Structure 1
């Protein structure tokens, strides 16, 4: 079940009000009680009744829109790879009975129209990602990113956790160790505190940020661009998330 559900621009309703009413009728028919809001032409379900928060995972695909993030050796953009892997993780979680909330499902930054000003858009985007997390206070927040550095020799997934939070640290360790065991046995990286990372410092949830690999490493960049590798990596991350939540 997805929470981020309806793009109003894609439907030819006479008015936004009509769209909301129709959506509520449909949702009521399948016995889901919801509170909704409109944000930049998107209809969000804010709360899903009878679903424990610990079964909700917020997936945050970093960057988007004019903010491409890192650029890979093969020309792939971080923002696109982030989204591809977030969607893979989400699909696998949904298959296993989890509710998935996406901060974005397409190529955009999440700034509000009133803050569509150069120099302000990025901080607005980060704040709005945190606002999504705030709607589900006891859920798990997982932000997906790609790493980069000056030389090609650096490689490997690395997980950052919310500073000074034992639960976030435990989740980060579960993900790091699972990926090393199943996919990257040569990876000797350790989890780190996400001190200075805006989303990790400003959400109340258990929260981690996963740097899935280095786009500046040609071989790793190619792997991260391959659908089969994305699926393997995503499944490994999903298994670690579930292991942490259900332990």
Structure 2
């Protein structure tokens, strides 16, 4: 097993160090990618040091802080994660800006080529290729081999329409570890085992559940079941508390039934039950309020005899907790741990 330094560039609130801002904000998205890269590498048994600077500082201070942390460790590779800018295409011109990787010299060319290929293939954006520079501080001041990844363009609508930080992170990890992926490859490394489930038709024997989490000020992509087609098969962002959840069975109710669910607010009480994504009396179709962290979840499948809903949550501080079946089973009849924010959810029927 190898050791790596991984960091996201820039500082979210730094004095001139916040990075590129467009449709996406670099210092936000690069940290999501960084966290997922670290998680995936550690899942494969590697040692990873997070060398990201998160305190308020200048651009120079941020760079020096990153390099100082990197140089405290002897590792196989320093990886600096960024997002690019300069396209100024906010309407979309049908052409993507793309991805590129900067290197100090050719010693890291093979890794760089793989990462460029993997991100380009996975996200469906242009491969701008491996590039070289001896003027980038992170590349010329670190004692280890280093690369700087520009994942996509924050100010290109064609890039941001295709953006998925989890897929990007998986593409980076595959490249680091010597693996090349194709556009049809699914990125599904999981940190834990789970029951085998079906993934298609929505018949009475194969019922799908679609679910979506609200975190970090936005609704994230829909997930279908557990570990089918969406990255690691969970809704949420590891390390970022979920503040609302919505879900539904896919298909005709007389076949698939209804999914009912409710959420518990952190150190508070239970929100009202929701049914599928139907609007309640307040006009909302989700559990939670999009403002309060959640620490508990209950679910039940209605009008579908012979089937149960299975669900579990990942919490900040406790990790993945055991699977719960239906409403009333498991510890105290809910998935979660009071006092620990939920940051990811998995569901299947």
Which of the two has greater strand per residue? 2
Residue 48 of structure 1 is matched in structure 2 by none
Residue 88 of structure 1 is matched in structure 2 by 36
Greater than 6 Å deviation, 4+ residue runs: none
The alignment partner of 1:191 has SS state of strand
Residue 22 of structure 2 is matched in structure 1 by 72
Which of the two has greater helix per residue? 1
- CA distance, structure 2, for counterparts of residue 188 and residue 239 of structure 1: 16
Query: Which of residues 88, 96, 100 in structure 2 aligns to 1:151?
Result: 88
Query: Which of residues 120, 126, 129 in structure 2 aligns to 1:180?
Result: 120
Q: Which runs of 5+ in 1 are unaligned?
A: 1-51, 112-120
Note if contact 1:72-1:221 (Cα within 8 Å) is conserved in structure 2: no
- CA distance, structure 1, for counterparts of residue 116 and residue 39 of structure 2: 21
Residue 72 of structure 2 is matched in structure 1 by 135
Query: Which of residues 166, 190, 197 in structure 1 aligns to 2:129?
Result: 190
C-alpha spacing 1:85/1:177, structure 2 compared with 1 (3 Å): same
Q: CA RMSD in A?
A: 2.1
- CA distance, structure 1, for counterparts of residue 7 and residue 159 of structure 2: 22
Q: Deviations over 1:151-198 (max 9, x none)?
A: 325511111112x3x3222221121122234433x5241210033211
Note if contact 2:87-2:97 (Cα within 8 Å) is conserved in structure 1: no
- CA distance, structure 2, for counterparts of residue 72 and residue 144 of structure 1: 17
- CA distance, structure 2, for counterparts of residue 236 and residue 203 of structure 1: 24
Residue 225 of structure 2 is matched in structure 1 by none
Q: Which runs of 5+ in 2 are unaligned?
A: 90-94, 180-349
Corresponding position: 1:60 with 2:7: yes
The TM-score, its normalising length taken from structure 2, stands at: 0.45
Query: Which of residues 142, 147, 150 in structure 2 aligns to 1:203?
Result: 142
Residue 220 of structure 2 is matched in structure 1 by none
For the pair shown, which has the larger CA radius of gyration, 1 or 2? 2
- CA distance, structure 1, for counterparts of residue 136 and residue 50 of structure 2: 19
- CA distance, structure 2, for counterparts of residue 188 and residue 150 of structure 1: 15
What's the CA shift for 1:122?
Answer: 2.4
- CA distance, structure 1, for counterparts of residue 87 and residue 113 of structure 2: 26
Note if contact 1:133-1:141 (Cα within 8 Å) is conserved in structure 2: yes
Higher relative contact order (CA 8 A, sep 6+): 1
Q: Deviations over 1:71-122 (max 9, x none)?
A: 122xx321111111100111111111111111127x435x5xxxxxxxxx32
Corresponding position: 1:161 with 2:103: yes
- CA distance, structure 2, for counterparts of residue 108 and residue 221 of structure 1: 27
Residue 59 of structure 2 is matched in structure 1 by 122
What's the CA shift for 1:233?
Answer: 1.3
Note if contact 2:3-2:48 (Cα within 8 Å) is conserved in structure 1: yes
**Equivalent runs, 1:39-54 vs 2, <5 Å:** none
